Structure formats: C-alpha cells, structure tokens
Structure 1
Amino acid sequence: MFNQLQGNTLTIDSSELRIKQYTISPELYRKGYPAGRGPCGCTSVCCQEGVYADVKERDRILEHREMIAKHMDETQTKDESLWFELDEEEDADFESGRCVGTQVVNGKCAFLDKLGRCSIQVAAAGEGMHRWALKPTFCILFPLEVSNNVIQFDDLLDEEQACCSIDAEFDVPMFRACKDELIHILGEDGYGELETFYQERIRSRTPVHQQKEVV
C-alpha cells in the first residue's frame, strides 16, 4: 500500500478505503500537519461568508433560538428571522437532501461572535449540552468535507490559513488531527478502522528500526 518512505515523508497510494457508507480520501492519511499545528488553531476565517446547514439542522437551531440568542454579543442579531437565507437548495450530501445558508451579518456568519466563536457551540456547551449538539455537520467537519459520500480535505483555505493547510511532510496525519470530527461522523468503531488501516500499512512497509518514528 505504501510506495516509499523518504525521511519524514510517508507516501501512500490511492487505493480505496471504505468505512461504513463512506470512502476515505487517501490524503487523510497521506498528508498532515507539523507538530503544534492543526484545526485546533482555528482562525474562524472559514466562517466569515456564512455556511450551509441541513434544513433539519436549521430547524433544530431555531427550536433553541432563545438559548442561542442569550450567548450572542452586540455584533450579532438576535432576530432569528435574519439567521438563515430564505431559499433552500437541493444537495444530496446533506442528510435530508436539502440545505440552507446562514446569513452574513456585519461581515461574518450570523452565528460568529466578535471573538471568532460560534454562538451555537458556545450556547450548547454553556447550557450543559455536548458542544456540537446543535452545530451543523459541515461546520463541525471543516477542513474535512463530505462530497458524494467521500470524506476528504476541503482545500478552500489551503496555503492561506495554517489551521486549514496540510502537507505531504507531516508529524501528525490529518485523520489524527481531526480525530474528534471523524468520530462524530464515523463513530468510535469507524475511526478505529481507520487507525488500524494506517497502522497496518505503516508496519507492513516500514523497516522495524523505523516503525516507532512514523506511527
């Protein structure tokens, strides 16, 4: 499965890996981040222009509108009628097959506060819910995305924002840097399959004296 090991660069071919209903793009284990960098250093630039949510996710957010509004600041609108666009779009990558965009308010997503935090996530955590209980799936996953049932890297901000840029030379493969996000969509068991796949391919192609360095 591995083509070669050169220094700290691990090159893996594009053989298909499927977990549950998803195909896993090879870049998730073929590329990654240097030590100390990754999605946890999010700059919120990806949220500036608004995001897309499944219509069911929109409805769930609106069901909790009063709770979310309590955690908004003066740069945001608490008028829920201005949180989402009116027009829905058909998109098979969303669970219901339909999605809707969030509105841009004061130059940023309606749910983005002045500190660059998502008010949906802040509200959920502040009210004792899981931090992602109300957050749209595609917001949770970025810089991963799901397209035609393929989980892959979204290169929207590649080479523009360090938190959203990956490279063939890495210390941490992308799938490990995005462990929580992948567990959210694949489950603990699905993520375990991905980890096992990676470990087995490394050990099958890496000399024993080098294995500790790359796993």
Structure 2
Amino acid sequence: MFQLGKTIVSEDIIEKDFVCNLSACKGACCVDGDAGAPLDKEEAKILKEIYPKVKPFLRKEGVAIIESKGTSITTVFDELETPLINGADCAYVIFDDKKTALCGIEEAYNQGEINWKKPVSCHLYPIRVKDYSEFSAVNYDKWEICDDACTLGTELQVPVYRFVKEALIRKFGEDWYMELESVAKEKFNK
C-alpha cells in the first residue's frame, strides 16, 4: 500500500490487469452479491431527483422495489446503497437482448435524459473506496465473477487504474490521478 494525499492505495490497482468483459460475465456484478451499490449522501439525493427521468428505462420489478423502498436504502450498518430486487439484482438493472445486465441510470445518461452517469462506486468497479475519518482506503476488489475481465486485462495489458481512469478522476480529481500514474511508472521502471 502507498499513500496519495488523504488516500491509502492498494498496490493491486497498479499491479493487476482488468478490462470488463461483458460478453463473458453478462454484467454479473450488478445481479450477484448481497448488497446494492454503495452510495454517498449526495448520490442518494441525486438518485431521488433524477428518478422520474430514469424510471422509464427500468424494469417493472425495479420500479416496484424503488417505489416501495425508495431510490436508495440505509443498511443496518447505517450505510446508503441502491435497493435490490429479491436480494439479488440492483433495482436499476436492465437487460439487453443478449441478457446482459446494464445500468438503467447509465442508459438514461447515454440517451441524454440526465447528466449523471451512475453511482461512482459502480463506475469505479473493481475498485472499492472505504471512507474513514482521516483517509480513504482505495482497494482492488477481487471477485471470481470477474476472472474473464482479469484475463482480458492481461491480454490487453491494461492495469486496473487505467481501466477506471475516468472514474478515479471523477472521485479524486485529475491531480490525484496524475500522482497515481507517477507512482505506477516509478514502480514499473525499477
């Protein structure tokens, strides 16, 4: 691990390779697991505001859960996240004609209906950020459903941090990302 400003960063994000391979995994990260996408308070507010524009893009099951539980929920650990359909699919998940899970929020964004892409935790995946009072921990989340993404990343020689560059800049800023690139270059030039 190394420190960048007020973040503690796992070396895995510069050492491991990753490129999402939706044709192989079918978007399993959005339908597997036991929790919704982590949100911060501002994102929960944004979801509430944009929901009327996102709703037409969602499946009826997602709309039903959102309208009964809310656009976001608070967990027993007092953390915000997206609600789930039957404890599995994110309520905002939609499927394309190949049964690949996609994000209804991102689809509304791509269609020009909203100007917010999706929760940053989704945009950052496979990186997970845990905020503490003094710093944020930036870690690589290894999950076997993403093995094909690791294989593709290795074939293409794309490290995790480069794959999620846009999201890292969105979360931490351009200067932070440039420092991260410097650390990565220094590490691999040794």
* TM-score bracket relative to the smaller structure: 0.7 to 0.9
Give the count of matched residue pairs. 176
TM-score (norm 1): 0.67
> Relative to 1, partners in 2 of residues 1:44 and 1:193: Cα closer, same or farther, differing over 3 Å?
same
Partner of 1:150: 137
The reply on whether 1:77 has 2:63 as its aligned counterpart is yes
The reply on whether 1:103 has 2:84 as its aligned counterpart is yes
State the shift of 1:19 in Å: 1.9
SS at match of 1:127: coil
State the shift of 1:107 in Å: 5.4
The reply on whether 1:32 has 2:32 as its aligned counterpart is no
SS at match of 2:57: coil
Task: Indicate the percent of aligned positions where both proteins have the same amino acid.
Answer: 22
C-alpha distance in 1, partners of 2:188/2:74? Answer: 47
The reply on whether 1:197 has 2:183 as its aligned counterpart is yes
> Relative to 1, partners in 2 of residues 1:52 and 1:174: Cα closer, same or farther, differing over 3 Å?
closer
> Relative to 1, partners in 2 of residues 1:191 and 1:80: Cα closer, same or farther, differing over 3 Å?
same
> Relative to 1, partners in 2 of residues 1:106 and 1:74: Cα closer, same or farther, differing over 3 Å?
farther
Is contact 2:28–2:145 with CA below 8 Å preserved after alignment?
Answer: no
C-alpha distance in 2, partners of 1:107/1:90? Answer: 19
The reply on whether 1:127 has 2:108 as its aligned counterpart is no
State the shift of 1:129 in Å: 4.4
State the shift of 1:164 in Å: 5.8
The reply on whether 1:20 has 2:1 as its aligned counterpart is no
Partner of 1:7: none
> Relative to 1, partners in 2 of residues 1:22 and 1:87: Cα closer, same or farther, differing over 3 Å?
closer
Richer in strand (by share): 1
Is contact 1:143–1:164 with CA below 8 Å preserved after alignment?
Answer: no
Task: Say which one has the larger Rg.
Answer: 1
SS at match of 1:77: helix
Q: What is the root-mean-square deviation in Å for CA atoms of aligned residues?
A: 3.1
Partner of 1:47: 30
The reply on whether 1:139 has 2:122 as its aligned counterpart is yes
SS at match of 2:53: helix
> Relative to 1, partners in 2 of residues 1:63 and 1:130: Cα closer, same or farther, differing over 3 Å?
closer
Richer in helix (by share): 2
TM-score (norm 2): 0.74
